[in-house]
Chain A
């Protein structure tokens, strides 16, 4: 039962990884931008949630009313700027890393480098859980899992069923041909960048609900989130969710059965093996 519980807790936590990863994956896959500033947007989303809940008294979940539009605009503006300067994939990595560091410094200056955590009276979710028989579903990660399902599902449908989604996929496949058919990649890119920013707002809120914040937190996310993006297949929304759940569950089980200390070693070893076998990701169809 302990192992099953660990798998469930891990998979739910994997929902948070998927939520963090989906915006990064989409902008990388569709727009050829490796946007490390996405981690900065998640961080800002977390701190804005903390600020609004602690000092304005808004329920942490309702802070999305403010943070989603704010980070949508930030994400769209960022993508517009990337496009305006015509950054290559590699240059986008460098520039967005610089912007991430700048964001971390601004957050440090505004909220201090010390740990910030919503107190129990403004954030009752941190210690709540849903119980089904002997199994426990912690509220913060359950919320993350549900949000990941909704956002990934929505993004998948948007890409498959709407004109902007199909246009983006066409643009990702062949920019020249897509442009010849009149696809406005600047506007579409800004829209996707904004959507990624909005997903960062949701992820940031859930991070703030689940754990204390420090400005240097994004560096803790790099390894696991990139692993999820690559295992899921770059630009593959459903694959990203599946990879998040898989990595989370596996990590939880290894930590319980073996040791938390060996969990990163086992997980990243498996990821290396998986990528050697399926270099384009576990959830991408083989091309024959």
Chain B
């Protein structure tokens, strides 16, 4: 029998409970403020952050921007990118005179990748902490949660990455990464047009779709609308024969059954509407079956691990709004090159394995520029005025150019999203032609 004194058992129980409570609250209780008004702005630090370059250091009460990010949990890998890009933006903003002449302070809370916590934390930021402005969290479900709170309080919500355009009905949410009002049309149409330009265009296609809302939406359209076009119906319209249509649940780790079915279907093109490292697992499983993967498209992959596949990853296609390829950087000029380099340094210091300033960081940068330009156009931290100003003027984004916000389209502006491909071990922008750093290649080149 257990002969330990009762105080030992009590202490153990308390320690256990404390650990669990600590675990449940970890990271969320203490905000991470980013206050970076610099000593003096340099005349050369005039990179376009959306702020007017100013020789005067910001002064007065800081403008506090509150947001959550998924610093732990399932979305943490990408949350870290948004944190670094946001900190970099705020630092540069303050170095260039701040916002309306005042320093900007960014308060970030960890939402632990939990949609329920996002609502609570945005409510706290607005109602209790009294932040002046808010910035969206990362990932579509979290953004939807934050949007409901923002709408209730009439706050402007710039958001980085929400894909489900039809659900983002709040007129003062402003998307920073637009795949157009119908991503389920835009993405597949662009992909099929791009692969049709190959010397031997694919004739057959297989779908492997993660049942996450964002990815399933692209393959299947809106669930309550049978006539909503999607990647499958558009493939048929464009003359591609569908030879397999496989769905798998989020969190899938066993890829052999899916790889077997794809091998049996033997398509010319695999459309893997996926997240994270799904495509890595799938390609690996296909290789284990001695099946050379055909041309493969991956919707929202973590970019680094796919490059780690080496030769097996060559030719994989994905979506992108910006890639720091030399030819692309030449189009943008030295200020963007400086932003890209700074981000890389910060990402390396933070220990991120893939440090390129690409789509996610670009979306973050866009979101901050939208917020700043809205406030500057309104001339005040007045949310109604900011929202009206953004509807009236749009925003001039460093990486995406002049964009307009039409509430009838849920503010989703015409997309500038293109396609990137792994070529010689690196992601290269390949489509559309006018923004490509190289031409799209068939697998095996």
Contact = CB atoms under 8 A, between A and B. Distances in A.
Contacts of A126: 284
Contacts of B1: 175-176
Nearest to A97: B20
B351 interface: yes
B9 A117 contact: no
A113 B77 contact: yes
Contacts of B9: 85-86, 88, 91
A97 B248 contact: no
A94 B20 contact: yes
Interface in B316-372: 350-354
B312 A114 contact: no
B305 A117 contact: yes
Contacts of A5: 256, 260, 289
Interface residues on chain B, size class: 35 or more
B74 interface: yes
A114 B304 contact: yes
A114 B77 CA distance: 4
A128 B287 CA distance: 7
Nearest to B276: A115
A200 to B, nearest CB: 18
A127 B287 CA distance: 5
B16 A86 contact: no
B12 A86 contact: yes
B20 A114 contact: no
A9 interface: yes
B173 to A, nearest CB: 26
Interface residues of A, number: 61
B72 A113 contact: yes
Interface string B245-257: 0111101111011
Contacts of A118: 308
Interface centre among A108, A111, A141, A175 (most CB of B within 10 A): A108
Contacts of B27: 105
Contacts of B56: none
A103 B302 CA distance: 23
A120 B253 CA distance: 19
Interface in B10-36: 11-13, 15-20, 22-23, 26-27
B256 A212 contact: no
Interface in A110-149: 110-121, 126-129, 131, 136, 138-141
Interface stretch (A161-169, A228-236, A248-256): A248-256
Contacts of A105: 26-27, 72
B73 interface: yes
Nearest to B2: A86
B244 to A, nearest CB: 11
B12 A211 contact: no
B277 interface: yes
Given A10-B254, A127-B284, A129-B290, A119 B308 contact: yes
Nearest to B281: A211
B42 interface: no
A101 B19 contact: yes
B8 interface: yes
B115 interface: no
A27 B132 CA distance: 53
Nearest to A99: B19
Interface in A179-215: 211-212, 214-215
Contacts of B289: 5, 129, 136, 138
Given A108-B72, A114-B80, A121-B310, A2 B261 contact: yes
Contacts of B280: 117, 211-212
A87 B254 CA distance: 36
A91 B251 contact: no
Contacts of A13: 254, 256
B288 interface: yes
A245 interface: no
Contacts of A10: 254, 256-257
Given A256-B260, A259-B246, A260-B252, A102 B277 contact: no
A95 interface: yes
Contacts of A128: 288
A175 B73 CA distance: 40
Contacts of B79: 113
A2 B253 CA distance: 19
B311 interface: yes
B257 A136 contact: no
A131 B4 CA distance: 57
Contacts of B13: 91, 94
B249 A116 contact: no
B238 interface: no
B285 interface: yes
A263 B211 CA distance: 13
A108 B16 CA distance: 22
B264 interface: yes
Given A98-B23, A136-B288, A256-B261, A91 B256 contact: no
Interface string A1-39: 010011001100100000000000000000000000000
A216 B74 CA distance: 6
Contact of A252 (B256, B288, B350, B354): B256
B124 to A, nearest CB: 22
Interface string B265-294: 000000000001100110011011110000
19 contacts: A6-B257, A10-B256, A86-B8, A88-B9, A91-B12, A98-B20, A112-B80, A112-B353, A115-B277, A115-B302, A131-B290, A212-B280, A212-B302, A215-B72, A255-B257, A260-B249, A260-B258, A261-B249, A263-B249
Given A13-B256, A105-B72, A117-B305, 15 more contacts: A5-B256, A5-B260, A13-B254, A85-B4, A86-B2, A101-B26, A112-B353, A114-B302, A114-B352, A114-B354, A120-B308, A138-B288, A211-B277, A256-B260, A263-B257
Closest 10 interchain pairs by CB?
A98-B19, A113-B76, A101-B23, A120-B310, A86-B4, A9-B256, A255-B257, A138-B288, A127-B287, A260-B248
Interface of B: 1-2, 4, 8-9, 11-13, 15-20, 22-23, 26-27, 71-74, 76-77, 79-80, 113, 211, 246-249, 251-254, 256-258, 260-261, 264, 276-277, 280-281, 284-285, 287-290, 302, 304-305, 308-312, 350-354
